[in-house]
Chain A
Amino acid sequence: MATKAYQKIYTHLEAITKATVSLKAPGASNDELAKVAGRLAQVVKTKGDMVTLQVFAGTEGIPTDAEVTFFGAPPTLKVSEQLSGRFFNAYGDPIDGGPDVEGEEREVGGPSVNPYKRMQPDQLIPTGIAGIDLNNTLVSGQKIPFFADPDQPYNQVMADVALRADVDKIILGGMGLSNDDYLFFRHAFENAGALDRIVSFVNTTEEPPVERLLIPDMALAAAEYFAVDKNEKVLVLLTDMTLYADALSIVSNRMDQIPSKDSMPGSLYSDLAKIYEKAVQLPSGGSITIIAVTTLNDGDITHAIPDNTGYITEGQLFLRADSDSGKVIIDPFRSLSRLKQHVQGKKTREDHSQVMNAGVRLYADAQNAKTKLENGFDLSDYDLRCLDYAKEYATRLLSIDVNIKTDEMLDTAWELFAKYFKPEETGIKQALVDKYWKA
């Protein structure tokens, strides 16, 4: 993001808050970038001649006579094949010691794809994890977050999923990543020998929070380059979107906007949708799939951030520690993939959706039995069978450390059904029972 040669320099700030500065600068354009005392800023409000700039790195130490210069353009990223294998900060500058990227300069946060030009996503993304492939199958062009408490190993699971997925490029957008997690991703990508198909944009906890706001746009501008220009299958990883939303609320608060639920800005839904809706299956074959992380506070999905996210994304993968099996599992009740019916039974075996539903329904029966047990009631024979089933189902299928093919998952499920239940207790269509029941 180079500055232009001739430009007017302003030297009088009228107002300063922790995240914004205001000055008289007639002719500044909306969303335009500027530099305030050497720090990158963006125009967020114009009122008469007064312009309010959001300073990404924060305003600590900025004096009222700070130098302000305008770039005349919104944030951009230089795109080319040279992005591959590189690590960048929120401004798109290299942080891996390598050279600057040469390429076409593109505006980030650009327009949306015409919905009429989209294709119906129908390509399966297998991950080997049964909690995903069996119960919540992923499809290319989908957008789906992990919902997880901060103590869950979501970044590890996400790295596993990314490296197993059959995609051409992986783009990591790290927001408020701890330095340890940043290094974890770097090592995971290096160890897998996959570095050349990965592009990373990283904002760590050591960097100012408002900078995070640029990360998704940067990552998705790179993703659009590979998906639209190069017809590649691109997987974008965004972690952690809760920290992104927190940064949004900081800025809106400093701009005196009336907060809505959970002190989040009223535009939270639109702000998140702008990011997630970049997920797309293009007619040319290119696609952008987004897997994100939304950390929860003690599993609370009614908080404005996970709540708005759930309404935007095509499902969610809910990570939870299971006390029966001692494993971290993908919770079958709270997880959902909205696009699964486009691939289940079409790209996978015919019995997929019925087996999935039966497996989850029986697991729900086990939860009821557990409640009874906790309340000190006698358990029926059926209850006991459910409990045994649940433990094995969680260990062999729901656990995140499973790595098997989808057919194996289905066979395992049939095996468990036969071990613990009678065919009529599963409620599966007779024709499928006749064909697959493991007597």
Chain B
Amino acid sequence: MITTGKVTGIVSNLVTVEVNGPVAENELCYIDLKGTKLLAEVIKVNGNKASVQVFESTRSLRGGDSVEFLGKMLEVTLGPGLLSSVYDGLQNNLATMTDVFLKRGEYTDPLDHTKKWEFTPEASAGDKVVAADWLGEVKEGWLPHKIMVPFSFEGEYTVKSVAKAGSYTIDDTIAVLESADGREIKVTMTQKWPVKVAVKGYREKPRPQKIMETGVRVIDTFNPIAEGGTGFIPGPFGCGKTVLQHAIAKQGEADVIVMAACGERANEVVEIFSEFPELIDPHTGRHLMERTTIICNTSNMPVAAREASVYTAMTICEYYRAMGLRCLLLADSTSRWAQALREMSNRMEELPGADAFPVDLSAIISNFYARAGMVVLNNGKTGAVTFIGTVSPAGGNLKEPVTESTKKAARCFYALEQNRADQKRYPAVNPIDSYSKYLEYPEIQAFLDEKIERGWVEKVNKAKFIVRKGKEMNDQINILGDDGVPMSYHEAFWKSELVDFAFLQQDAFDTIDALCPLERQKYMLNLIMDICDRNFEFEDFGKCREYFKQMINVMRQMNYSEYNSKNFKEYNNQLSKLLESNGN
């Protein structure tokens, strides 16, 4: 018998329901508003009263309205066709909705049930399989999309039959499995999975082995993120969080990108789906949109679905990871999700933690970050989910609960700084406060030795030292005056400016500078470090500044020129001449 109930209380999107039977935590229900069904999720039960958060506006709902429980948690539908789709936080397909305005209670199917996919079998009758094992493959764009034993299957199964190569819809049976107790189960190309539960079905989760290239110098060289790693970008508004995230989405070296726009501006999402179809993935030469799924719950969409949106996005990533693909999940911003939790906790009149956030915020965040990672699948192949979240700290102050909780969970920290943004030093990633724990991993160090050059990490640390030293020198100069310090202070300061202007700063809106491949990063860093190793002679600090400004200017022109092009080489020659004129 299904459990039903009646609405007894309403405060904004928190509704209290008196129920007549069993309900589960996180169980879904439909509230009937004059024929329109509003989806809601149980978040607290007390006696026969269930508190539910409604994923829609509760306008015109009244006491006594009837509620029907669904006996399941919030699930996503997984299958071919997820890529290049635009979903809301509950995985409704936004593209197939007809109206300009979002209608309450309109739920659309995430996948196309009529489209035929070219299926190639990989398993054969008699094979023993477990959950997440591959049965066959369809091509989704250029990606091999594995059809798997559904994640929810427990124990071992025997393959009775697999469909022949050919075209099938996602609802056609592509395999029949037999369970240990002799039941026959038909498997199609789709399956469902509850978003709040991490997808398992892999052999182990080793430490990350390599870095994920983003083409952003301050990340790849200074604080690289590992494939299967975690990172976060906190920063006050106007410091370029979104621009940086879009750059990573465009250029990240991944097979699948899932972007969760969680409680952010709608126009930013529009930018993604109007630009991405035009843009080309620099690694494969295919259209970016073909590898991208957008989960979009903008700030004016129902607050409760914000939380759902990040979980939906993560589950989709885990699904593709189980196919042996490298996925990148970008969530902007996790602070809005935390605020949604705060709003609910507040309405339920729970005792608040710091800044009125719920007390378990830290645990929720670290559990979520833990779902990322590189895995070795049952068949020995590897897949990865790399996760980068943004955080929008209130007042730009990093001593606030969301930033602090995230710092405990994420391994890379890209601190955007107001001061740098004010000076238009973009990306405004603070080179001193930011870090990547992966630089300390022996596996990653070995990878970089191999991939870039021997002793690379040492060189990067040296560059960081120059930047830190330059800042100290600048502080001294500001205290003692230009004439009050030795020339070596000026030289050290300007060397740090050279690293900053010619390497750390990067023009995300310039077609060439926006994307800097590792090879080019290596060339430029070596060039800069060679300069920094030299000793120069200057008559006075004015000459020192002038000399370095010339050098910075030439190197910026190099950054704007195609790598190894005529222009690039010409600027390189100019630089060499400048160097010949001074120093050794």
CA distance A199 to B315 in the complex (A): 48
Identify A267's interface contact among B12, B58, B423, B509, CB under 8 A.
Answer: B12
| Contact assessment for A310 and B237 in the assembled complex, using a CB-CB cutoff below 8 Å | yes
| Contact assessment for B97 and A339 in the assembled complex, using a CB-CB cutoff below 8 Å | no
| Contact assessment for A115 and B269 in the assembled complex, using a CB-CB cutoff below 8 Å | yes
9-residue interface stretch from A10-18, A95-103, A183-191, A422-430: A422-430
CA distance A261 to B301 in the complex (A): 23
* Chain A residues closer than 8 Å to B545, beta-carbon distance: 380, 382
Tell yes or no: A151 within 8 A of B by CB: no
| Contact assessment for B97 and A307 in the assembled complex, using a CB-CB cutoff below 8 Å | no
Tell yes or no: B339 within 8 A of A by CB: yes
| Contact assessment for A113 and B102 in the assembled complex, using a CB-CB cutoff below 8 Å | yes
9-residue interface stretch from B142-150, B196-204, B437-445, B475-483: B475-483
9-residue interface stretch from B19-27, B121-129, B183-191, B389-397: B389-397
CA distance A336 to B396 in the complex (A): 16
CA distance A141 to B266 in the complex (A): 11
| Contact assessment for A120 and B9 in the assembled complex, using a CB-CB cutoff below 8 Å | no
9-residue interface stretch from B270-278, B321-329, B447-455, B460-468: B270-278
Chain A: interface size category: 35 or more
Contacts A270-B299, A341-B509 given: A27-B356 contact, CB under 8 Å? no
Identify B424's interface contact among A266, A270, A311, A357, CB under 8 A.
Answer: A357
Identify B296's interface contact among A115, A278, A304, A334, CB under 8 A.
Answer: A115
Give the Cβ gap from A436 to chain B, nearest Cβ, in Å: 16
| Contact assessment for A120 and B270 in the assembled complex, using a CB-CB cutoff below 8 Å | yes
| Contact assessment for B63 and A116 in the assembled complex, using a CB-CB cutoff below 8 Å | no
Q: Which of B556-578 contact A (CB under 8 A)?
A: 556-557, 560
* Chain B residues closer than 8 Å to A381, beta-carbon distance: 542
CA distance A311 to B86 in the complex (A): 23
| Contact assessment for B59 and A31 in the assembled complex, using a CB-CB cutoff below 8 Å | yes
Nearest to B550 among chain A residues (CB) is: A424
Nearest to B551 among chain A residues (CB) is: A424
Tell yes or no: A38 within 8 A of B by CB: no
Identify A377's interface contact among B12, B104, B275, B481, CB under 8 A.
Answer: B481
Tell yes or no: A273 within 8 A of B by CB: yes
* Chain A residues closer than 8 Å to B271, beta-carbon distance: 120
| Contact assessment for A339 and B100 in the assembled complex, using a CB-CB cutoff below 8 Å | no
Identify B549's interface contact among A279, A336, A425, CB under 8 A.
Answer: A425
Contact with A along B411-447 (1 / 0, CB 8 A): 0000000000011100000000000000000000000
Interface size, chain B (Cβ < 8 Å): 79
CA distance A364 to B102 in the complex (A): 45
* Chain A residues closer than 8 Å to B553, beta-carbon distance: 424, 427
* Chain B residues closer than 8 Å to A266, beta-carbon distance: 339, 342-343, 346, 356
* Chain B residues closer than 8 Å to A119, beta-carbon distance: 270, 274
* Chain B residues closer than 8 Å to A403, beta-carbon distance: none
Contacts A116-B95, A377-B482 given: A261-B394 contact, CB under 8 Å? yes
Tell yes or no: B336 within 8 A of A by CB: yes
* Chain B residues closer than 8 Å to A74, beta-carbon distance: 59-60
| Contact assessment for B267 and A314 in the assembled complex, using a CB-CB cutoff below 8 Å | yes
Contact with B along A80-116 (1 / 0, CB 8 A): 0000000000000000000000000001011111111
Q: Which of B1-56 contact A (CB under 8 A)?
A: 7-12, 16
Tell yes or no: B263 within 8 A of A by CB: yes
Interchain Cβ contacts under 8 Å between A and B, 18 examples: A27-B62, A27-B64, A30-B59, A30-B62, A45-B9, A110-B101, A112-B300, A114-B100, A117-B100, A120-B271, A120-B274, A266-B339, A277-B265, A279-B267, A310-B238, A314-B267, A333-B422, A381-B542
